Each structure stands twice: as C-alpha cells, then as structure tokens.
Amino acid sequence: MTASSISNGQADEQTGLLNASAATYTLEVPDLDQFDPTVSLDKLTDTIEEILMRDELKQKKVPFEVYQHATDRWLNRHQHGLLARYGIVNQDIQANGGSTAVCHEIWQVGKNASACGILALLAEQRLSDEKDDTVHKGLMQQLALSTLRHAMDQTSATEVVKKEMLIKPWVDGKSALELAIENNCQIFLADSEISGFSQTLWRQGRSWRDTKHPSSVWDSHEPTNRYETFFWLTSALTQFFTRWAAARYQAYISLFTGLVYFALQLATAANEDYVDTEPRGYEYVYYGFVISDILLELGKLFRHPIRSVETPSTYLSLTTSVLVFTAFVLRFVALDSSDLEDQIREIEASYMLVIWATPLMAFRLSIWANDLWWPVTKVNYVLKRCLTNTLWVISLSLAILGAFWVGLYLLQRNEVQPLTMLLNLALGELHTPRIGDTLIYKPYPAGVLLFLFMVLTMFTGALVISSFLAVFIEIYPRLGEIRRITETQRSIREQEFGVFIPGMGIEILVFGIGLLLRPFQSPGATKHLEQFRQVLWYIVYSPIILTVGVVEILAWGGSVLCKRCRAYRS
C-alpha cells in the first residue's frame, strides 16, 4: 500500500496536483484543455500527412500539387519513395532529444493527440499498402516518441500528460498504445518511457476520478480539504480500495477464487463417503461455486459468442463447468430418488464426473494465473498457437478415426459393442492398441483395415509434431516482442470490478433490482445501484482484499527497514 499524496506539494500520480498550505490540503486536477488538438480528430491524420509532405517540399522544391497526383513509381525515381518520401531521416528525428521542426509543427496541430495521430497514419498507410517498409515504420514510431517527449517538456505534470497522450482514445476510438499493439510497433513499445508507463499503469491502475473508472460514482467533485494526518490516511485507503478495479488486482481476485474453487474440488473428490452419505457442509459451498461457474461460462458464451469460440480456454472452462454441474444435478436427483438401484447408479455416475473434472480444474489454474506471471503466459500462448495451428490435423485424425470405426464395427458387430470398438481405435491412435480385442471376428479384413488405420495414425502424428515445431520456430525468436505486447495489453484494460465465480449472485441480484427500477430509472438511481453493487462486491471479496492489503503493508515495511539498514551501514 502506498500513499501517493505527500506534504511537499509534488504531483500526485493518481489524483492530480496537491497544493499544500499550513494545515490543510486541496486536491486539484491540472487543466489540460490547452493541450487539446487544434483540428478536428477526423482530419488529424490528413493534417499530419500534409505537414510531413510540406516538410519534404521545403527540401526538394517540388510543387505540392505534383505530389497529389504522383505515383509511387515516380516518387521512387525522384528519391521520394518509401525510404525518404517525407524527407525525414533517423538522425533528424533523434537529434536534440527527438525535438525537430516537423515534430514541433505536428505538436502545434495535434497537441496531446499527436502520437496517436502519427500511429493512426502509419496504420492507414499499412492498410492501403502505401507504406510497407521497415525503415519507414521505424521512423514514424520515432516521430511519435519525439512528440511525446516534446509534450513532456511543456509541463511538469508529465505523468498526466503521458496518460492523456497514450491511453486516451483520440482517433477512431483507439489510443496510441492500442494502435501500437495492433500494428506491432516494437520500437515505440520498447522505449523506456512507454515501458515504464505501462508498468506503472499495471501496478497502480488509472485515476479513480476518471469518469470511466467505476469508482468515480463515489466522487463528489468537491475539493478535498482535510487535516494533514486524516487526509493522508483517507487518501491512502481510498487509493487502495479503488485500485481493485485495476487489471493487476482483478488478476489477484481471479487467482485466489480459482484456488479456493480447486481446493473445494479436491476435497469433494477425496470424500470417501461421497456415494454413501449426503453432502457435507463444505460441499454445499462447493456446489454454490459450481452453479456460479456454469452461469458465468454460459453468460460469456451468449454475450460474446464469436470471441468465446475463438478462445481455446473457453472449451476447457466450459467442459469443466458442464461436468461438475452435471455431477451436482445427478447427485441431488439420486438423493431424492426412492429406487435404491437408481440412486446408487446415479451417485456413482456423479462421482465419476467429479473425478474426470478434477484434472481439468487443475489446468484451469493456468488460465486464472495467466496475467500475473510471464512463464505461465508464455506457456498458455505457445499452447494456444500450437492447438490453433494443428486444428486441421486434429480434424483429419478425427475423420480417420470415425471412418475406420464404422468399417471395423460393421465387420465385428456381432462380437463387439460400438463404443468398445471406438475405445480400442482411440487407444490405437495413442499408440496403445488393443489388437486382440479389435480383431475378434473376421481377422483378415479387419487386420487390413487396422493396418491402414495405424499407418494413417502415424502420418497424422508426424503432421502434429511438424506443426508444433513450426510454431516453436516462429515464436521463440519473437518471445521478447510477444511479452512486450502482452504486458502492454494487460496494462491498458478498462478498469472494472469484474464478475468472478463467487460473485454471480451479486450480478443476478443487481440485475433483478435494475429490472424492478427500470420504470423509475434515473441517473441518480443508476448511480446508487452501482454503489450498492460495489459495496456487495467488496464484502464478497473482503478476505482476499484484506490478505493482499496485509501483504502489501508488510512488503512496504520491509522495504523501508532495508533502506534504513543500508543507510545506517553506509
């Protein structure tokens, strides 16, 4: 836990500028209206391109009208091609800390939208195939960085300027960082100012006074005027609680709730009396998680069907939730049954589903921990690429399995059950064939089919291995770039108090109240309903919030103690 508001009147990185008087503090947000673009955002990229072309004309003495009708071939012949069309060279951009005449001219037009406008222009050029050159792409990124440094030189509130220039959506609803990620602008993202800002944004989140921040519903929009000690305490607590809408703290919630869910899953699977007795106390808590889990996964699927289908983790999560929910239904149906044989059969089926879901639940831990540790993120990314790259091989393998299953079953239908034959062939695909059970009847024609099946299985296995190797060869040289993009993506996510497995009851309750209040809906009612939801959210996740708070206090105290020990020794 950190207290960003201090008594020397320096800039507060979360809430603005702090003006100190003898015994009171007044919190203000710097006025940045003077740094708004001087042209329409719709025309920003066109204006920037015109500035770059004019700068070229000053050096080449060619009428501007010629450029409007010139082809790339003509421009290349006259040395105005892809490498020097705008008359910008790397030395010019990097000279004087990146402050050049063209940079200053762009800043005068775009102000805080300058970097976003340059990256948007680069994106337009790439989409239209007007520019597809690595050198040109690098120069444009350097120019965007130059405008950022130029803006930081204009004011002392550098952190506020960075937030305005990098994460505010200026062009087509996208921010500079979003455009840099979409266009793989590695030079821009690798800059120390950008990477440092992304790390700070990941650790602390955005200002809770931002209108897009969910905690802004608690902002009274009145200047804070408190005694020094009380102000420091309330400011620190406010920042700590509102910080839980940030992506890092949302990842903590996801991981800890997942660990609790997995522990309940293990306890239920390890219950030796599962078949013989009614559910124990902790199992009712477990089934509460199960119901919330299935509702959450189905809600994601229906709200964002395309995104869910394209995400491999959806299949793992949805399969697991369906298995445990089916086990829950079977168990309680069996307990309500009066037929003893049906009861035993259904409870045993329920327990079998719980056992099947346990390893899948363990794999889900990697999904819940994905944002917190790069090694986990790397493994998930590589597995995702491998699976998506080999879908065609997997489809081919399933088609082979189905085709030979039909043929072999028809030959042995009087001796072998269809599912038994399917199991034998599936084991054969995994190189553990049960040949004796597969060739019971008519062994010669069945043996020919089995031979062809095993040959094709070896062929598809080689295809899977080669596809995996192709993915590894492609990915491993770019792991640094992938990490940079991944870390930037997670840092610019929208701040929200997310929906996790234990909190589905809150969402259902708030949704129901919202339906009841819809005829009387007003801005005030919507605000109070959101405040009510956030209070319930904090209550449900209070054990995690308190645990993380204690750990942060201990870590802060340990760091202070270490610094004092080093100072004392020196």
Mean pLDDT, the chain, integer: 78
Q: Which helix (H) or strand (E) holds 550?
A: helix 542-569
13 and 119, same domain (yes or no): no
The pLDDT score that the predictor gives to residue 2 is 39
Among 48-52, 77-81, 242-246, 442-446, the least confident range: 77-81
Q: Please name every residue paired with 226 in a beta bridge, in sequence order, or none if there are none.
A: 25
Q: Which two tokens stand for residue 211?
A: 């209108």
- CB neighbour list of residue 179: distance below 8 Å, 6 or more residues apart: 116, 119, 120, 122, 123, 171, 185
pTM of the predicted structure, to 2 decimals: 0.79
The pLDDT score that the predictor gives to residue 79 is 43
The pLDDT score that the predictor gives to residue 77 is 44
341 and 466, same domain (yes or no): no
* 35 pLDDT higher than 60: yes
Q: Which helix (H) or strand (E) holds 20?
A: strand 16-20
The pLDDT score that the predictor gives to residue 223 is 58
User: Which residues constitute the domain of residue 150?
Assistant: 33-204
375 occurs within a structural domain: no
Return phi, psi of residue 434, to 5°: -105, 80
Query: What's the pLDDT tens digit per position in 345-363?
Result: 889 999 999 999 999 999 9
Q: How far apart are CA 132 and CA 202, in angstroms?
A: 32
The pLDDT score that the predictor gives to residue 322 is 95
Domain end among 491, 513, 530: 491
Higher pLDDT, 506 or 100: 506
218 and 258, same domain (yes or no): no
Among 11-25, 311-325, 449-463, the least confident range: 11-25
Q: Tokens 């500028």, residue?
A: 17
On whether the CB atoms of residues 24 and 170 are closer than 8 A, the answer is: no
Higher pLDDT, 465 or 98: 465
CA count, 13 A, side-chain hemisphere, 519: 1
The pLDDT score that the predictor gives to residue 29 is 45
- Going by pLDDT thresholds of 50, 70 and 90, the confidence category of residue 93 is very low
Q: What is the dihedral of CA 261, 264, 268, 271, to 10 degrees?
A: 160
Domain end among 434, 463, 491: 491
Higher pLDDT, 472 or 437: 472
* 293 pLDDT higher than 90: yes
92 and 236, same domain (yes or no): no
Count of domains forming the chain? 5
How many other CB atoms are there within 10 angstroms of residue 458's CB atom? 12
198 and 135, same domain (yes or no): yes
The pLDDT score that the predictor gives to residue 515 is 85
101 and 229, same domain (yes or no): no
Q: Tokens 């990490």, residue?
A: 483
Question: For the packed helices 158-166 and 134-152, what is the interaxial angle rounded to 10 degrees?
Answer: 140
Give the C-alpha distances (Å, rounded to integers) separating 105 from 38, 318, 438: 12, 54, 79
182 occurs within a structural domain: yes
378 occurs within a structural domain: no
48 and 178, same domain (yes or no): yes
The pLDDT score that the predictor gives to residue 442 is 59
39 occurs within a structural domain: yes
69 and 196, same domain (yes or no): yes
69 and 185, same domain (yes or no): yes
56 and 148, same domain (yes or no): yes
The pLDDT score that the predictor gives to residue 539 is 93
184 and 282, same domain (yes or no): no
What is the length of the chain?
570
Domain end among 325, 340, 370: 370
24 occurs within a structural domain: yes
171 and 55, same domain (yes or no): yes
Q: How far apart are CA 359 and CA 256, in angstroms?
A: 18
